[in-house]
Amino acid sequence: MAFQMTSEQEMIRLMARDFARKELEPHAGRRDREAIFPQDSIRKMGELGLMGMMVPAEYGGSNTGAVSYCLALQEIAYACASTAVTMSVANLSTEPLLRFGNEEQKNTYLVPLAQGRMLGAFAVTEPEAGSDAGSITVRAEDRGDHYLINGTKIFITHGAYADVINLIARTDPKKGSRGLSAFIIEKSFPGFSIGSTEEKMGLRASNTVELIFEDCRVPKENLLGREGQGFAIAMNALDSGRIGISSQAVGIARACLDEAISYARQRRQFGRNIGSFQAIQWMIADMATQIEAAGWLALAAADRKDQGLPFTKEASMAKLFASEVANKAAYKALQIHGGYGYTKEYKVERLYRDARVTTIYEGTSEVQRLVIAREMLKE
């Protein structure tokens, strides 16, 4: 058992921290208010290798492993949770290609995604298929030399800015979750378009849109893996994605804690700093303890991934726990700010809104419990 970062992991963490504090933090508030997608920062992060962290060097990735990914994503999320979800989904989008892509698909798509020259998205959710991803209805019909795709995806992170989209669609209407397949969609494919943009409560600098497929022609060679593998491909990618979201949640929670501490040190009531009241101290102690635990859960899941061990259960536990911790931390941090925390003058107001979605996307807390229980009870 080694709880020690390697020198590379420490350097990656420091670089991400430096980048986040200098490039992201100063603009995070304005981007949130004006709902501006951080395209410029995303490009820079791509050049630094932050968008292909689990991809081997031969495919253009930085091959740092999942632990480094966790550490870097926490630092990015600390400064700007919107940029962090973008980074998380960009990295997640490399997973299906890496695990299931053939050599040609890897060279065409994985390399530019990992190098950050292209941005990848991941499209599973539909209006009638959220937690129940097996009920996807977007249809992909085999037309001999191509597939014809029809239907609508919703809630797709940076769908409007993505060059490449991993799409899960139905190739067999009779087979339930085994009738799904994965496709690689280029934004220029005819019949593909961007629909409406969600007006969100938090993560307002991230882009969340509807994707519309109207007789969209997709070449046969853009089928990822085999027909019927779509659900497995999506679940595999989500396992990794959950490590990302747990790290994002830890980053947001750390920011909440730091805001709470600095406010508690300077706000005076009843002739004293409010940090001297035990009620405030206990909130801070609980936040710090839970965040520490969440951080280790995320790293433990990431470490299993790096070691090539199964990590489905651990990733779900980390995601479940960290996202709930982030929400508790945001609640307490705002509480410590009193009425000021409820205004847009204070950063904690944004953190509170940003934290909220972490228990929802990439599997709600209820779905994580489902996954964990299934793993615990299986014979």
Partner 1 sequence: MNTVVCMKQVPDTETLIKVQGTGIATDGIKWVMSPYDEFAVEEALQQKEKMKAGAVTIVSLGPDRAIEAIRTGLAMGADNAVHINDSAYYNAADPFATAAVLAAAIKNLQYDCVFLGKQAIDDDSGQVPAMVGELLGIPVITQVLKLEVAADKSKATVTREVEGGQAVIEVSLPVVLSAQKGLNEPRYASLPGIMKAKKKPVDVKTAADLGVTAGPATAIKEMTLPPARQAGKIIGGDDAAAKAAALAKALQEEVKII
Ligand X SMILES: Cc1cc2nc3c(=O)[nH]c(=O)nc-3n(C[C@H](O)[C@H](O)[C@H](O)COP(=O)(O)OP(=O)(O)OC[C@H]3O[C@@H](n4cnc5c(N)ncnc54)[C@H](O)[C@@H]3O)c2cc1C
Q: Map the footprint of ligand X across residues 297-326, applying CB under 6 A.
A: none
Q: What are the residue ranges of helices labelled H in 267-364?
A: 278-306, 312-336, 347-356
Give the span between the Cα atoms of 163 and 188, in whole angstroms.
8
Say if CB 59 and CB 111 are below 8 A apart: yes
- Binders in 110-129 for ligand X, by CB under 6 A: 122-125
Interacting partner of 47 out of ligand X, partner 1, none (Cβ under 5 to 8 A depending on kind): partner 1
Cα-based distances in Å from 9 to 38, 87, 241, 288, 348: 26, 18, 20, 23, 29
Helix (H, G, I), strand (E, B) or coil at 269: strand
Burial of 192 (0-12, 13-18, 19+ CB in 10 A): buried
Spatial distance between the Cα atoms of 169 and 178, rounded to a whole number of angstroms: 11
277 interacts with, out of ligand X, partner 1, none, CB within 5 to 8 A per kind:
ligand X
- According to DSSP, the β-strands at 120-123 and 164-170 are parallel
Contact of residue 261 among ligand X, partner 1, none (CB under 5-8 Å per partner type): none
In whole angstroms, the minimum distance from the beta carbon of 93 to partner 1 comes to 17
Which residue in 96, 94, 92, 370 sits closest to 230, CA to CA? 96
Among 203, 250, 291, 302, binds ligand X (CB under 6 A): 203
Of 7, 270, 271, 377, the residue at the interface with ligand X (CB under 6 A) is 270
In the complex, the smallest distance separating the C-beta of residue 83 from ligand X, rounded to whole angstroms, is 13
Beta carbon of residue 73, minimum distance to partner 1 (angstroms, whole number): 13
280 binds, among partner 1, ligand X, none (CB under 5 to 8 A by kind): ligand X
Is residue 95 exposed (0-12), middle (13-18) or buried (19+ Cβ within 10 Å)? buried
What is the smallest separation between the CB atom of 253 and partner 1, expressed in angstroms?
Answer: 22
For position 157 contacting ligand X by CB under 6 A, the verdict is yes
Catalytically annotated residues = 362
Question: Which of ligand X, partner 1, none sits in contact with 208, Cβ below 5 to 8 A by type?
Answer: ligand X
Residue 190 binds ligand X (CB under 6 A):
no
- Is 161 a binding residue for ligand X by CB under 6 A? The answer is no
Q: Residue 181 binds which one of partner 1, ligand X, none, with CB within 5 to 8 A depending on kind?
A: none
Q: Which residues bind partner 1 (CB under 8 A)?
A: 7-8, 10-12, 15, 18-19, 47-50, 53, 57, 62-64, 68
Q: Could you say whether residue 277 binds ligand X (CB under 6 A)?
A: yes
Strand partners, 153: 211
Q: Could you tell me the smallest distance in angstroms from the CB atom of residue 308 to ligand X?
A: 26
Residue 132: which H helix or E strand, with range? Answer: none
Question: Which residues, other chains included, contact 373 with Cβ-Cβ below 8 Å and sequence gap of 6+?
Answer: none
Count of residues that interact with ligand X, criterion CB under 6 A: 33
Nearer to partner 1, 10 or 132 (CB): 10
Q: Terminal CA-to-CA distance of the chain, rounded, Å? A: 28
81 binds ligand X (CB under 6 A): no
Residue 331 CA to residue 75 CA, distance in Å, equals: 21
Distance in Å, CB of 79 to ligand X, minimum: 18
Residues that bind ligand X (CB under 6 A): 89, 122-125, 130-131, 155-157, 200, 203, 208, 267, 269-270, 274, 277, 279-280, 335-336, 338-340, 342, 357, 360-362, 364, 366-367
